[in-house]
Amino acid sequence: MLTVSTPRAMLLEMAVTARKRPKAQGLRPKAQGPRPKALKVRYHHGDLRRALLEEAVRTIRDDGTAALTLRAVGARLGVSRTALYRHFADKSALLDAVSEDGFRRLGDALERAWADAGGGVPGFEAMGSAYVRFALDNPSHYRVMFGVWNSREHHDPALRAAGTRAFQLLVDALAALQRDGVARRDETPVAVARYVWAVVHGIAMLGIDGRLPDGAGGPGGVRDVTSFAVRRLGSGIFLTEPSLPSAPSAR
Amino acid sequence: MLTVSTPRAMLLEMAVTARKRPKAQGLRPKAQGPRPKALKVRYHHGDLRRALLEEAVRTIRDDGTAALTLRAVGARLGVSRTALYRHFADKSALLDAVSEDGFRRLGDALERAWADAGGGVPGFEAMGSAYVRFALDNPSHYRVMFGVWNSREHHDPALRAAGTRAFQLLVDALAALQRDGVARRDETPVAVARYVWAVVHGIAMLGIDGRLPDGAGGPGGVRDVTSFAVRRLGSGIFLTEPSLPSAPSAR
DNA sequence: CGCCTTATGTTGTCGGCGTCAACATAGAGG
DNA sequence: CCTCTATGTTGACGCCGACAACATAAGGCG
């Protein structure tokens, strides 16, 4: 279960062989756009910090959070372990950078969802779905973002800013809904946003952990609970108005 | 941050001195009730499995999840490392036992909340508050229960049973609400329970991680979001009925 | 009682991990 | 050319989980 010695050993073997090359730095198929500076060797590595971050994200995505090892990420880049310490204070700093990257992508996804749906209630529901979809598509990344690391407010300003921006998108959407008279005004947008955030976060976490039935698509699965949630976020559960029919929203 | 070498070293020192005793087994101040069998030495340790589990829970509660080390828990009990392997397959098995214990306690708390409130809508709201309160009172324990470990369905039957029981309490409550005509009947109790579970789970996680303002008591804190959530779980956010006043539920 | 089987606990050891110190190297700038 | 500094490497340390081999105690059985 936890001991994946065979693939990890293979991985390290690969890395060792890759390290045999004197310094074949430019073979990585990244940055396909115009060459940033020149095609010469430039420096020790070029932009190791970015490469380390990208490799960490890739490692987490492919092999899970437990496989993220300073030694492994260094080896995958054909660079020695501890090379990372010239760009990150320690492992938690690297994870902070990974989290910041995740919050930035999450914010982009929310922004896109709201804009593509044209705002309003459809935009709000699209944001909720996009949030859960992001978590399901990047489970390990999402787990790092909300992991035990840096859980308190001690993390660096960049990470904090990225997280705040993603949350603010939700606040702004709710403020717009209130302004347009489609959302109740008896609570501040921030208070409602915290609640909505908790809802989608809970669904995302349960979905990621496989605690909702089936593979996300069937009845009771993550998608089902998500659509249920975004509908109920606007209608409630209890019969506060007995005259209310069963399905106020058209499916 | 992550390196707490000083207290850990002290702890190990304590343990080493404790281990100097030949086998002073019975000095632990537990099981204050009637002596289970006899006051003689009985066996190698007596009931090491239970002692290991309790010590693991205590370690997690006092020093956090990261401090849970097979060596540390063994040392705290005056027993050698690897003694644990006679009672648990590996570390994840110990964590499974900790999770099972947590789900049992959580279920007890939910049951008590529902019963003490006399069922109905107050009972339902009490369950929600009790759920979040349990998580806030036992953050590390809760994190283990929903941690990366055993997230898939591979964990042992006892853990699965304890988790299912806690969830079933919620389902039963919602079924009762539906039966009494106070909850909408357009969805099955299980579907609604999944949604409610996600809501309280999300609040609990955000609260545990310190992602809600202040120390849980002030405006916007965990308690605020929780009460907001249990109210909105019954009323909804959007203005589906414009004639609806602002506060349908008293406080 | 003496022996043996089995359950339980210990010691030794291994590989992996994060991290630090010391050393090496390459680019920049005088 | 020489030096300075940024960057990368090697070696080592302590901690961790896990396994193998060994030690010991409880209990069954003659």
CA A64 vs CA A12, A214, A231, B220: distances in Å? 16, 21, 32, 34
Tens of pLDDT, residues A103-123: 999 999 999 999 999 999 899
CA of B162 to C1' of C8 (A): 29
- Which distant-in-sequence residues (6+ apart) come within 8 Å of B106 by Cβ? B131, B134, B145, B166
* Of the candidates A128, A138, A151, A154, the residue with the CA atom closest to the CA atom of residue A101: A138
The minimum CA-CA distance between B111 and chain A, rounded to whole Å, is: 21
Question: For chain D, which bases have at least one atom within 7 A of a protein Cβ?
Answer: 6-11, 14-20, 25-27
| Angle at alpha carbon of residue B220, lines to B218 and B223, rounded to 5° | 65
**What residues pair up with B90 in beta bridges, in sequence order?**
none
Q: Are B240 and A239 in contact (CB under 8 A)?
A: no
Alpha carbon distance A89, B57 (integer Å): 32
Closest CA in chain B for residue A202 = B202
Cα dihedral across residues B79, B82, B85, B90: positive or negative: positive
Helices (H) and strands (E) in chain A, counts: 9, 0
Is the pLDDT higher at B183 or at B167?
B167
Q: What is the pLDDT of residues B59-109, one digit of tens each?
A: 999 999 999 999 999 999 999 999 999 999 999 999 999 999 999 999 999
Q: Round to whole Å and give the CA distance between B159 and A76.
A: 38
Percent of chain A with pLDDT over 70: 71
Residue of A nearest to B219 (CA): A191
Residue A91 contacts strand D, CB under 7 A: no
Quick: pLDDT tens for A205-219. Answer: 999 998 988 666 777
Residue A39 DSSP symbol: S
pTM score, whole prediction: 0.82
Q: Please write the tens of the pLDDT for every residue from B27-39.
A: 333 333 333 333 3
Q: Measure, in angstroms, how far nucleotide C9 C1' is from residue B45 CA.
A: 9
Which residue has 């995302």 as its token pair? A204
Asked if residue B246 has pLDDT above 70, the reply is no
CB contact at 8 A, B72 and B8? yes
- If you ran DSSP here, which 8-state letter would residue A183 be given? B
| Separation CA A226–CA A128 (nearest Å) | 8
Cα A104 to Cα A123: distance, rounded to the nearest angstrom: 19
- What pLDDT digit, counting tens, does each position of B177-198 carry? 999 988 888 889 999 899 999 9
Determine contact, residues B69/B82, Cβ cutoff 8 Å. Answer: no
